Amino acid sequence: MVFAKKWSIELEKKDDVIHLEPLSDIHIGHAGFDEELYKKRIKAISKDKHRYTLFLGDQLDAITTYDKRYNPDTSIEHDVDNQRKMWQELSQPLIDVHKESKSEKIGGLLHGNHEYNIREITRSYIENQFCIPNDIEFLGSRALIGLEITYKKKVLGQWTMLAIHGSGGGKPERMFDQMKKNVYADIFLCGHLHQKRYTPELVSDFDFETGQRWERDIHLINAGTFCRTLVDNTDGYMDRKNEVVYGQTGTATLSINAYQGKVVGHI
């Protein structure tokens, strides 16, 4: 099942640039969770009226004593609802702004494998605890989003976005290739791999007015993480692998100028 939604953002000035900064792989409850960095990005998104976000999954680490992956070295909060409560408290400044905003500050929330693989974190739990009280739309683990930017109620630009949490191992480049199969989109967003990437590409399209081929941009982002790969004085999952690829904490951002029809990525 693919979730779909139209996300409309109304500009105050037609040349305003909006910044889409997804929040992914937060992993609250893990010893590697960088709380200060998360609070910093929540504050930045909240304070900037032109900055918007999506939650891309793995908000919680959700590894409890009942989970075969449980490791007392890395799982520092063992109760799922305490982790959820911490997410709520840390995210509240952004949620408050979202509820007051004319445009949706938070375009939606996806769940990731650290949520949907946990029996007690059902879809109902996500919707009742994360989404409905915070006026955030639940988008499953795969969503096709029509981003429409308007000025004085007139459309300046439209972009189709595919947002997924992602699954499996490997590198973002492989996930980018897999995401593009059977999907026609301008923007591809994923998480899961904890490796910030921004890759612009050109694809061919056809112009019926001129009868000619033209080239348009597509944009691919792996959104990064707020969980450090290795934590001092702990023996975790990544310590036990032969090859360790460090995940760069933080976010990746798309800056969208609808008036000029331009999209630029930043990591």
How many other C-beta atoms lie within 10 A of the C-beta of residue 142? 18
Residue pLDDT, tens place only, 91-145: 999 999 999 998 899 999 999 999 999 989 999 999 999 999 999 999 999 999 9
Model confidence band, residue 215 (pLDDT cutoffs 50, 70, 90): very high
Rounded distance, CA 32 to CA 225, Å? Answer: 10
* Strands of the sheet with 154-164, listed across from one edge: 3-11, 142-151, 154-164, 187-190, 212-222, 197-207
Looking at residue 206, what is its pLDDT?
94
Distances (CA, A) of 178 to 102, 134, 229, 233: 35, 32, 24, 37
At 27, which amino acid appears?
Answer: H
Among 17-26, 69-78, 159-168, which is the least confidently predicted range? 69-78
> Which CATH topology does 3-266 take?
Purple Acid Phosphatase; chain A, domain 2 (3.60.21)
pLDDT of residue 157: 96
Query: Is residue 1 over pLDDT 80?
Result: no
Query: Residue length, the chain?
Result: 267
246, with CB counted inside 10 A (0-12, 13-18, 19+), is exposed
Question: Looking at residue 146, what is its pLDDT?
Answer: 98
Q: Tens digit of pLDDT for each residue in 26-73?
A: 999 999 999 999 999 999 999 999 999 999 999 999 988 888 888 888
Mean pLDDT of the chain: 94
Predicted confidence (pLDDT) per residue in 227-256, tens digit:
999 888 888 778 887 777 888 899 999 999
Check residue 244 and give its pLDDT. Answer: 79
In angstroms, the CA 22 to CA 224 distance is: 9
Contacts of 134 by beta carbon, 8 Å cutoff, 6+ apart: 88, 95, 98, 99, 106
Which residue would you say has higher pLDDT here, 160 or 169? 160
The proportion of the chain whose per-residue pLDDT surpasses 90, expressed as a percent, equals: 84
Rounded-to-integer distance, Cα 80 and Cα 238, Å? 22
Does 8 have pLDDT greater than 80? Answer: yes
Position 72 scores a pLDDT of 86
Looking at residue 65, its pLDDT comes to 84
- pTM of the shown model: 0.95
Question: What pLDDT, on a 0 to 100 scale, did the predictor assign at position 126?
Answer: 97
CA 88 to CA 48: how far, in whole Å? 20
Q: Where does 80-234 show beta strands of DSSP type E?
A: 106-109, 142-151, 154-164, 187-190, 197-207, 212-222
Phi, psi of 79 (to 5 degrees): -105, 125
> What is the predicted pLDDT for the residue at 236?
79
